[in-house]
Structure 1
Amino acid sequence: MGDRWRVEVDRTVCIGSGMCAGLAPEGFALDAARQSHPRREEAEASEPVLAAAEGCPVEAISIMLAESGEAVFPPEE
């Protein structure tokens, strides 16, 4: 992919399903309250991280291009 992404988790929406950490353990972790958070503020683009965002049951994960802030997921309509 070649891009760098900024990944955010809306912790007011996250239900702690753990799907993101299961699909992309290098990108996400659950804390003691079972709330997801990205392991790094900025990281190389990766298919597993995108799959985790797409698979989040409550759409709590957003991904932006680090350089421009352009939405990667969810896509702008």
Structure 2
Amino acid sequence: MTKKKARPDASRCVACGVCKKECPRGAISIYKGCYAVVNLDLCVACGICAKACPADVIDIVAESEVN
């Protein structure tokens, strides 16, 4: 079974912080006020952040696809 993780698109992220606020695991932070970053050790790919993102820039992908 392939592990999955959240992957925000930093080039399109507006750093609004909604994903950070909604993440039940505290796996998301906003890097220097510019874009969302996911702590892969904490992310369980629940998809709550992706659903909450008003800019629709977060995908749930295979862990191997996350840079």
Q: Does the TM-score normalized on the shorter chain lie above 0.5?
A: yes
Q: Which has the higher contact order (CA 8 A, sep 6+)?
A: 2
Q: Equivalent residues in 2 for 1:1-77 (5 A)?
A: 4-24=3-23, 26-40=26-40, 43-46=43-46, 50-66=47-63
- Which structure would you say has the larger Rg? 1
Distance 1:29 1:62 in 2: 16
- Runs of at least 4 residues of structure 1 off by over 3 A? none
**Alpha-carbon contact 1:42-1:66 (below 8 Å) kept:** no
Q: TM-score, normalised by structure 1?
A: 0.64
Stretches of structure 2 that go unaligned for 5 or more consecutive residues are none
Stretches of structure 1 that go unaligned for 5 or more consecutive residues are 70-77
Percent identity reads 16
TM-superposition CA deviations, 1:12-60 (whole Å, max 9, x none): 11001100000015221111133101111784343xxx12111111111
Q: TM-score, normalised by structure 2?
A: 0.71
Root mean square deviation of aligned Cα = 2.5
Distance 2:4 2:58 in 1: 12
Distance 1:44 1:12, change over 3 A: same
